[in-house]
């Protein structure tokens, strides 16, 4: 479990970007972290594996504190991060070189490095790209290379910062699909985005605004609160439709947020069979 308590942070003497944030990430959950641009989501993300350390408050990962320099390497192996711009993350000159980068840095013996390389490439489905040069890949493929590189560290948690950014539809589907698969395989996912439509299947949503957490809970609950205007974002169109109908007095369910679920509940309303 990752626990943040009273975390306050500002960059180099500037205004506070995070104000007294309390947050926990449970093992195995799919946590969505959303908020408008500038609310501090990325800054918060970088606290999850000790890339940034809070000015006040504590951050612990499975009991290890980020304030303890000797724990940092272990923490970084536990919490992987996939950044927004894959070009800023890929250092290798071929896909396999990049994916092997992490394990090599851990000082693992060559056979173990090779094993993790193979497994990560398979897990993400990019084994056929292994000899390719990164700049010849598409945006989605690059993102997957970054994911594989993180996976090779065998993390327990993976934080994705705007994983669908800069991708076309095919790329998005690819990446989101891999994220869901990893979650099913037991990895804790923290999905950061400003687009709530990507988070309908999350276990829990956290909404941030101006450096603080304003809403927390399962998506239907959070969407409901957002519909009441309690937060800075609008829920995805489907949720708005269902809530709108509910407000208008129609007996629709608002806890199923997929297209199929909505179809069923609206279909029932229209005098179903």
Partner 1 sequence: MLRFGDYTPRDSLLHGLDARVKIAASAILSVVALTGGWSGLAALTIAGALSLRGAGLSFKEVLGAMKPLLFFAFLLFTMHAFFHEGRPLIDVTGAGVLAGLYTAWQYLALVAVGIFLTATTPPSELVAGLGRLLRPLERWGVPVGDISFMVAVSLRFIPLLLGEYERLRAARAARGADWEGGVAKRLGLAVGLVIPLLLGAFRRADDLAVAVEARGYGHRAPSSLRGGEMGSPDRRFLAAVASLALVVIVLHHALPLP
76 binds partner 1 (CB under 8 A): yes
* 94 counts as binding partner 1 under rule CB under 8 A: yes
> Which residues within the stretch 17-46 sit at the binding site for partner 1 (CB under 8 A)?
46
Is 100 a binding residue for partner 1 by CB under 8 A? The answer is yes
- Out of 18, 34, 59, 113, the residue judged to bind partner 1 by CB under 8 A: 113
37: left (phi over 0), alpha (psi -120 to 50) or beta: beta
Nearest to partner 1 of 4, 242 (CB atom): 4
Torsion on CA atoms 233, 1, 86, 142, rounded to nearest 10: -110
- Note whether 93 binds partner 1 by CB under 8 A: yes
Sheet holding 16-25, edge to edge: 16-25, 2-10, 56-61, 64-65
- Considering the complex, what minimum distance in angstroms separates the CB of residue 266 from partner 1? 44
Q: How many CA atoms lie within 13 A of 110 on its CB side?
A: 0
Q: Which of 44, 59, 81, 129 binds partner 1 (CB under 8 A)?
A: 81
Does 241 participate in binding partner 1 (rule CB under 8 A)?
no
Residue 1 interacts with partner 1 (CB under 8 A): yes or no: no
Nearest approach, Cβ of 192 to partner 1 (angstroms)? 15
Toward partner 1, which CB reaches closer, 65 or 216?
65
- Please answer whether residues 143 and 112 qualify as being in contact, where contact means their C-beta atoms are separated by less than 8 angstroms: no
The interface mask with partner 1, positions 163-202, x = CB under 8 A, is ----------------------------------------
Residues 159, 25: contact at Cβ < 8 Å? no
The H or E element spanning position 138 is none
Question: Contact between 112 and partner 1 (CB under 8 A)?
Answer: no
Q: Which of 106, 201, 241, 266 binds partner 1 (CB under 8 A)?
A: 106
Q: Is 220 helix (H, G, I), strand (E, B) or coil?
A: helix
**Is 131 near partner 1 (CB under 8 A)?**
yes
Candidate segments 57-65, 104-112, 196-204, 240-248, binder of partner 1 by CB under 8 A: 104-112
Distance in Å, CB of 53 to partner 1, minimum? 13
Contact 159, 82 (CB under 8 A): yes
Q: Which of 206, 232, 233 minimizes the C-alpha distance to 217?
A: 206
# residues contacting partner 1 (CB under 8 A): 38
Task: Classify strands 16-25 and 204-209 as parallel, antiparallel or unpaired.
Answer: unpaired
Contacts of 15 (CB under 8 A, 6+ apart): none
Buried b (16+ CB within 10 A) or exposed e, 154-180: bbbbbbbbbbbbebeeebbebbbebbe
Question: Which spans of this chain sit near partner 1 (rule: CB under 8 A)?
Answer: 46, 49, 51, 73, 76-77, 80-81, 83, 85, 87-94, 96-97, 100-102, 104-107, 110, 113-114, 117, 131, 133-135, 149-150, 153
């Amino acid at each position: 479990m990752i626990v943040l308590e009273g975390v306050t942070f500002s960059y180099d003497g500037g205004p506070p970007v995070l104000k007294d944030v309390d947050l926990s990430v449970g093992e195995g959950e799919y946590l969505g972290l959303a908020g408008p641009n500038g609310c501090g989501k990325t800054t918060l993300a970088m606290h999850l594996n000790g890339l940034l350390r809070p000015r006040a408050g504590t951050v612990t990962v499975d009991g290890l504190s980020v304030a303890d320099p000797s724990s940092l390497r272990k923490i970084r192996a536990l919490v992987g991060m996939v950044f927004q711009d894959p070009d800023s993350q890929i250092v290798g000159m071929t896909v396999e070189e990049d994916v092997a980068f992490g394990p090599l840095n851990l000082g693992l013996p060559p056979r173990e490095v090779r094993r993790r390389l193979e497994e990560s490439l398979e897990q993400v489905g990019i084994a056929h790209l292994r000899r390719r040069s990164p700049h010849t890949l598409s945006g989605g493929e690059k993102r997957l290379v970054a994911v594989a590189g993180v996976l090779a560290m065998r993390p327990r948690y993976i934080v994705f910062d705007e994983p669908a950014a800069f991708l076309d539809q095919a790329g998005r589907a690819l990446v989101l699909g891999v994220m869901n698969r990893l979650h099913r395989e037991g990895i804790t996912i923290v999905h950061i985005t400003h687009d709530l439509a990507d988070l309908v299947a999350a276990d829990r949503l956290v909404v941030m605004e101006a450096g603080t957490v304003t809403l927390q809970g399962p998506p239907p609950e959070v969407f409901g609160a957002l519909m009441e205007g309690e937060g800075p974002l609008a829920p995805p169109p489907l949720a708005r439709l269902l809530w709108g109908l509910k407000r208008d007095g129609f007996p629709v369910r608002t806890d199923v947020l997929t297209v199929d679920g909505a179809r069923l509940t609206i279909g029932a309303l229209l005098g179903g069979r």
